[in-house]
Chains A and B, each alone.
Chain A
Amino acid sequence: MKTYLGIDIGSLTIKFVLIDEKANVLYWTYERTGGRPIEAIQKGMKKLKDWIEKHNPQIEIAGVGTTGSARYLAGVIVGADLIKNEITAHAKGAAFFVPDVRTVIDIGGQDSKIIILENGVAVDFAMNYLCAAGTGSFLDAQAFRLGIPIEKFGELALKSKNPTTIASRCTVFCESDMIHKQQIGHKIEDIVAGLCQGLVRNYLANVAKGKKILPPILFVGGVSENVGMRWAFEKALGQEIIVPKYNKVTGAFGVALLVKENPPQKTKFRGFEISDMDIKCDSFQCKGCPNQCEVIEAKINGKIIARWGDRCGRWSNLKYE
């Protein structure tokens, strides 16, 4: 059976999605990278291999696509046929579930984006810049500080009857305001609900500024799991917020779909053996010109497979195996 693998490796988490020729999701995982992307890829591949052996040994990987901020690294290691930016991948994935979707809100570990679609293709987008307030990492940090498991964070917000206002221009001010509110005796659920509302306010003012948010609106990415954030978005926009199936892995699903649409003649996939190989990345400073680019080289079992990071192509254009 022919299948297509999509890998989305972001700042905090790694997502694997395996789809068949009819775009059914056969397998998906969502795991934290713990700041070690290479190990996370290897672990994820091992898990996928075990699953395939157990469930359906006939599965053959006919194409691999990578996306997310570590897409080049992941693409080199697994041997990807397609390396795509996360905006196109998310637009593709979201439009599959709701073909007439107009707006996609994607909030991940470190960045938040808004994608405007028309007829199933992205026509406009914006990403947060200068500031990562309101993304997954910050919610994570706050949940940890309050001692609430992140999975329960949203439910707690829904219990609030009287959300308090939290300054949300910047995470630093946001946190000090939260502490201030807790010190003067606000209930914890009111603070959590206020935080969700503040983050949505920040998103609408900084990321979605000026863009027309038309329904249907899809909410994807890790933060879309948080019911508190869903509630806050619905309240702020006065619209229904749809959280599609596989909302946490939309990017990986999207890139798998993109590979499926343009299947390679022969996949560049290196095989599941990479999970047991010794993969290392090294960097050095090129002295070729005043630019002094930091060139990164990836090695599998001591053999250089790729170099990147140079501006002129002196290293990246060399032929590697």
Chain B
Amino acid sequence: MKITFPYWGNYTVAFELLAKKLNLEVVPPERTTPRTIEKGTKIAPEMYCFPLKVNLGNFLEAIERGADTIVMPTALGGSCRLRYYPFVQEKVLKEDGKEVNFVIFDQSLDIFSKLKKISGANFLKMLGATIFTLKVLNIIEKLEKKAQYLRPREIEKGDTDRILISTFKKLREVEKFSELLKFEKEVLKELNQIRIERKEVPKVGIVGEIYTVTDHAINFEIEKKLGNLGIEVHREMSLLYHLKKKIFFTDFFIQRKVKPYLGSTVGGHGRDAIYEMLKYVKEGFDGVIQLLPAYCMPESSVRPILEKIHQETGIPFLSLSLDEQVAEAGIDTRIEAFVDVVKNYHKNKHRTPNI
């Protein structure tokens, strides 16, 4: 049995390591490319949201390379169409003549028995693998955060990304927990050696749907683009943030904060987008970008609310809807123009201090 799973930005490495820890034979998904999306779109239902089509493309490419079992998460994000993804995808793949097993990874506890069935690992081993994966995720997110700070300040443009690319390649080879800790230390040391200019730069917060904001292959590497244009990017939404939220019932507090704008959940991470935008406004950011896949119900529901916050507070705001029809040139033009707006806002803010 060879398992595969959807490509998800830098997190892909963590899932690959998890599967290896459980002694599963894994066909890691290749980075999503325009061709992947093309393949997925061809067989996917047109009106379905964008990530489903991308996932299908990933699966098709993995099946070509010998995968026969697909592990697909569902409903981890609350109530949005992600719940139907594995079922729709299974059906679509069957109709396309691909015979594959689906292991659906949901919130119920029987996921352990499912994993046990396919991997034969005992509870202790699973616990060990889970802790190991959480640490990998932690390192990935730490590196991403660090890069967001370094990119606009580095003196030799591109240094940060050059190190990151080789780092994630090396991370795939790590096997033991102790090696992982050593690896973390080394990478951070390497990143700290990048020559930077310590200066104040405009700050932009990214809000939106979790998959589009974290998968750089889908969002046209927006963080890198903004960073190279001299913008420090902040992003609250991440996989660990999401997991923590589930454990600590943060939704309750978020709901209280967004009450003036939204009285109830709209599914997915709709409320979080409002909460984060309000937070960025409070912290004196210079702009907010919302990323959403086309047809994403929760995010398109909150878009008018974000637009309202933007009009009330004057903070620059840009909403980018991504799907297979979107051309990178159009996105670039919008980002460049937005960066000009952000820089003007940043300059004027400092001219007239808030009293």
User: How large, as a class, is the contact surface on chain A?
Assistant: 20 to 34
Q: What residues on B are CB-neighbors of A242 within 8 Å?
A: none
How many angstroms from the CA of A88 to the CA of B325 in the assembled complex?
Answer: 25
A-binding residues in B (CB < 8 A): 30-31, 33, 35, 158, 165, 221, 294, 304, 307, 310-311, 314, 316-317, 321, 325-326, 329-330, 333-334, 336-338, 340-341, 344-345, 348
How many angstroms from the CA of A266 to the CA of B158 in the assembled complex?
Answer: 26
How many angstroms from the CA of A291 to the CA of B311 in the assembled complex?
Answer: 39
Can you sample 14 A-B contacts with CB below 8 Å?
A85-B336, A85-B340, A86-B333, A88-B336, A88-B340, A121-B344, A122-B337, A123-B316, A123-B341, A123-B345, A124-B341, A129-B330, A130-B321, A212-B311
Query: How close is B274's CB to chain A, nearest CB, in angstroms?
Result: 16
Given known pairs A87-B337, A122-B344, A212-B311, the reply for A311 and B30 (CB within 8 Å) is no
Q: What residues on B are CB-neighbors of A290 within 8 Å?
A: 30-31, 33
How many angstroms from the CA of A85 to the CA of B339 in the assembled complex?
Answer: 10
A127 touches B325 (CB 8 A): no
A127 touches B33 (CB 8 A): no
Residues facing B in A85-122 (CB within 8 A) are 85-88, 119, 121-122
Given known pairs A86-B333, A122-B344, A123-B316, the reply for A129 and B307 (CB within 8 Å) is no
B316 touches A87 (CB 8 A): no
Q: What residues on B are CB-neighbors of A84 within 8 Å?
A: 336
- State the 7 A-B residue pairs at the shortest beta-carbon distance, nearest first: A87-B337, A85-B336, A121-B344, A88-B340, A85-B337, A290-B30, A85-B333
Given known pairs A122-B344, A129-B330, A292-B35, the reply for A313 and B158 (CB within 8 Å) is yes
B321 touches A129 (CB 8 A): yes
Query: How close is B202's CB to chain A, nearest CB, in angstroms?
Result: 14
Q: What residues on B are CB-neighbors of A87 within 8 Å?
A: 333, 337, 340
Residue of A nearest to B307 (CB): A210
Q: What residues on B are CB-neighbors of A267 within 8 Å?
A: none
B-binding residues in A (CB < 8 A): 69, 84-88, 119, 121-125, 127, 129-130, 210, 212, 289-292, 311-313, 317
How many angstroms from the CA of A129 to the CA of B331 in the assembled complex?
Answer: 10
Q: What residues on B are CB-neighbors of A119 within 8 Å?
A: 348
A125 touches B337 (CB 8 A): yes
Residue of B nearest to A120 (CB): B344
B35 touches A88 (CB 8 A): no
Query: How close is A151's CB to chain B, nearest CB, in angstroms?
Result: 29
A85-B340, A122-B337 known; 7 new pairs, CB 8 Å cut-off, are A121-B348, A122-B344, A124-B317, A130-B325, A210-B311, A290-B33, A292-B35
Query: How close is A73's CB to chain B, nearest CB, in angstroms?
Result: 11
How many angstroms from the CA of A92 to the CA of B33 in the assembled complex?
Answer: 37
Q: What residues on A are CB-neighbors of B340 within 8 Å?
A: 85, 87-88, 122
Q: What residues on A are CB-neighbors of B310 within 8 Å?
A: 124
Residue of A nearest to B326 (CB): A129
Query: How close is B114's CB to chain A, nearest CB, in angstroms?
Result: 30
